[in-house]
Amino acid sequence: MTATSGRWKLGILLALSTATMWGVLPIALKGVLETLDPLTTTFFRLSLAAVLITPYLLVRRRLPNRGKLRSPRLFFQLLAAGLLLSGNYYLYIFGLERTSPEAAQVMIQIAPMLLLLAGVFLFAESFSTTQWFGFFAFASGLILFFNHHLGDIFIDLNDYGLGLLMISLAAVCWTGYAIMQKILLQEFNSEETMLAIYWLGTLVFLPFCDFSTLDQLTDMQWALLAFCGLNTIIAYGSFAEALAHIEASRVSATIALTPLLTVGIVQLIPMEGITVEPLGVVSLLGAVLVVSGSITTAVAKKAH
């Protein structure tokens, strides 16, 4: 087990920074989507991240070892990881365009839960009784949160229901990416893989971009677009640094609060162009169960 610094207050603060970044991301994206299409927005997210991280790694002499990419196995593993993460980014924003920041943030929590299950079935990792309890609490929370939208998916598939399904597929893509990332970390460090994946995603989305609406962006939307590009670097940087100070289970438990941050911000701060979910007691209970279920599976993993 990797030792931590023991500076738990700093670790919690960094984990909360990651949760905050991810909590406000769908709100910022929603503001950009009023003018830009999902493909062009995703291109700018990835390209800005690539452009910002490249000189940083260049100065620190931490660019990927090109010799490793001559291996067909490593090349295609990296390509698969890049395509899966690109698919995650696009499907998520496609679903967000048709739903709401709250719905998108709650539904995407399927991703870490799928990764935990993948660990059980693909990597023969243990899964305690307490973790199964957390998993069923999480699943019950999803049903309760979307109780007033279940018909949109299972009875009459409308635009909202399609959006939720796309976010579910985004979670599946992210799980596939995370599995590939776990394999790639045997040969590359995380910075090397992210740099390659950002540039790959940039090239994937470039042919599908529509730049004709850029002149219609307001100053606020330009700021939101820049924030979306910075968000990933800041969030993942804070995440990696948090792991250096506190245990992974405590980081995961803190980040599990992300959906509640999104719900709280959208419900309490009126914003133009942002759809507010009509949340009753049942839906709020569902959101709490989603978060508590995620925290339970994360913390119980350490205890087992």
Number of domains in the chain: 1
Interior angle at CA 208, CA 204 and CA 212, nearest 5: 135
Tell me what pLDDT residue 304 has: 46
Contact 266, 96 (CB under 8 A): no
Q: If you average pLDDT over every residue of the chain, what do you get?
A: 85
Express each pLDDT in 5-23 by its tens digit.
777 788 889 889 988 998 9
Residue 2 resides in a domain: no
Express each pLDDT in 168-185 by its tens digit.
999 999 888 888 877 887
* Among 196, 231, 218, CA closest to 93: 231
Residue 274 resides in a domain: yes
Q: Which domain holds residue 165?
A: 8-303
Longest dimension (CA), the chain: 57
Crossing angle of helices 129-145 and 110-122, rounded to 10°: 150
State how far the Cα of 22 lies from the Cα of 32, in Å rounded to an integer. 16
* Among 208, 236, 233, 200, CA closest to 83: 200
User: 59 pLDDT exceeds 90?
Assistant: no
Helix then strand count (H, E) for the chain reads: 13, 0
Give exposure, 83-105, as e/b (b: 16+ Cβ within 10 Å): bbbbbbbbbbbbbbbbbbbbbbb
Residue 152 resides in a domain: yes
SS3 257: coil
If you average pLDDT over residues 97-122, what whole number do you get? Answer: 86
Residue 213 resides in a domain: yes
Express each pLDDT in 73-99 by its tens digit.
888 888 898 899 899 999 999 999 998
SS3 161: helix
State how far the Cα of 56 lies from the Cα of 53, in Å rounded to an integer. 5
If you average pLDDT over residues 144-168, what whole number do you get? Answer: 84
Residue 1 resides in a domain: no
Residue 62 resides in a domain: yes
Residue 108 resides in a domain: yes
Percent of the chain with pLDDT over 90: 33
DSSP 209: -
Residue 3 resides in a domain: no
